[in-house]
Amino acid sequence: MKTFQMKTKEALDQRQWYVVDARGKILGRLASEVARILRGKHKAGFTPHVDGGDFVIVVNAEGVKLTGKKLAQKVYYRHSEYPGGLREMSAGKLLARKPEAMIRAAVKGMLPKNRLSRKLVTKLKVYAGPDHPHQAQKPQMLDL
């Protein structure tokens, strides 16, 4: 019996859209499940080198939770590429200003570090509120 290898064309035909409500969910647990769906590991025909995952829409990103003292102690860094351009922001401030960026960073960190993962991140759509512009794709509600 040969090992099944999904082709890219087969993966494109099987794509689905899912909506995940982040209100009240813990950030890391939510991000690991979203990364699993983006990668396609929930499907029987998972192939590591093929983008066989589905699209994920995360709504209510502002309602995500962090455990312990992470709101005050966890720090997100970015750099402007200029000398002395390191900027830092606590998780509490980032959640107040851009909650989408926090979820996107958590999911991106749980994907493999390669060219394929950079394509996978484009299939993640994150919105701070309950509304999203993807009704035409007929997304299914996914309970995590």
pLDDT of 104 over the 90 cut: yes
User: What is the pLDDT averaged over residues 91-110?
Assistant: 97
How far is the C-alpha of 50 from the C-alpha of 92, rounded, in Å?
36
8-130+137-142 homologous superfamily: Ribosomal protein L13 (3.90.1180.10)
pTM recorded for the entire structure? 0.93
* pLDDT for res 3: 86
SS3 40: coil
- What digits encode the pLDDT tens for the residues 43-75? 998 999 999 999 999 999 999 999 999 999 999
